[in-house]
Chains A and B, each alone.
Chain A
Amino acid sequence: MSNSKLYKGSLNTIILKLLTEHDKMYGYEITQKVKSITKGELNITEGALYPALHKLEAEGLLDVEVAKVDNRLRKYYKLTENGTKETINKLSELADYIKTMQSLVNPKLV
């Protein structure tokens, strides 16, 4: 992940946001989606993604579904009702953060 420290704090928000746009997603799909949306700029590492997913699951924000695909089992994640609410909060927090940073680093634009 490029400049990973800056992105790290937003990983949960990125995951939740992606899940609002897709009914259900699996881990590998999330990494590829982020890569393609950001044109390779952001590359979520596997070592960070799964711990984040499991944490969100434990917090009751994500639900899990397992399905047989080809000759293996695939674990899908989807938003719970709480997860949907939390996504709205997290997105507005992130928007505030971006605005604050913008006013600090580039006051002319604000």
Chain B
Amino acid sequence: MKLTKAHIDQLYTFTQKHYVEWYDVQTELVDHLANGIEAQLQDNPKLSFEEALDIEFKKFGVFGFMDVVSETEKSMGKHYRRFLFAEVKEWFKVPQFIATLSLFLFFLMIFKSELSEVILLGFYVLFVLWIGYKTILLNRAFNKRRKTAKKWLLEHIIFQQASGVVFVGLLNIFNVFNLSSTPTSTVVAIFVSALFTFAVIISVISLQILPSKANELLKETYPTFVTN
């Protein structure tokens, strides 16, 4: 017996109830459960759909879909980082490299200046405000998208998780900044300037560039999903 569209919808709801939030992950599990249920019903036609579902779900073990979800999140994180580093590479190619170099020299100049602490603190405050503002905007954009479409894991990483990661990274940078607010040697100044440059680039990519390319990246990641 082939499952009906109503059964499939029921399976999507079932995965949602079992904490699978993302449509891409749900879809794979729904197909798996459906195949299992169809085989069960063929072997034993007296079983009800619910009974067969129960048997199939138990095969996932005591933690249910948890392992599948966490492993998918990890691998999608890797996928996202691949997009991120592809963009980082662009900043080391002409013409963007001029911007990267200027940024680096700007930081180096600040660290060498007597007013370095004041300027850096000012820069840091502005940077945090910008990140906070972008985070709010991205969350709003994400919620707006949600009303019209399905929840994709990659979309969640682009719009919600990335800003959190940037923020944590920034707090760590602040520790470095405390340690070396008045760099004693040129080597330290160069190192800290490079670190700050890198932080700015990563933030701009994850909060500005990748979200603006979200649709493109989603299409690339879920090619046939999106058109189906």
Contacts and interface: CB of A to CB of B under 8 A. Distances in A.
Interface string A66-110: 111111111100000000000000000000000000000000000
Interface string B1-31: 0111100100000000000000000011111
A55 B5 CA distance: 31
B60 to A, nearest CB: 5
Contacts of B4: 71
Contacts, number: 83
A47 B28 contact: no
B74 A58 contact: yes
A8 interface: no
Interface stretch (B32-40, B136-144, B166-174, B207-215): B32-40
Nearest to B59: A46
Contacts of B61: 45-47
Contacts of A54: 68, 71-72, 74-75
B75 A27 contact: no
Nearest to B30: A72
A71 B27 contact: no
Contacts of B106: none
Interface stretch (B44-52, B110-118, B217-225): B217-225
Interface residues of B, number: 33
A66 B222 CA distance: 8
B75 A58 contact: yes
Contact of B224 (A28, A48, A66): A66
A77 B100 CA distance: 39
A46 B224 CA distance: 24
Given A46-B60, A66-B224, A68-B228, A28 B75 contact: no
A75 B79 contact: no
A74 to B, nearest CB: 5
B145 interface: no
Main secondary structure of the interface of B (DSSP, over half): helix
Interface in A44-72: 45-48, 50-51, 54-55, 57-59, 65-72
A69 B34 CA distance: 11
Contact of A50 (B8, B63, B71): B71
B67 A75 contact: no
A22 B129 CA distance: 53
A29 B2 CA distance: 16
Nearest to A43: B59
A73 B228 contact: yes
Contacts of B228: 66, 68, 73
Contact of A45 (B59, B71, B225): B59
A51 B71 CA distance: 5
A-B pairs with lowest CB-CB distance, top 4 = A58-B75, A51-B71, A28-B35, A66-B224
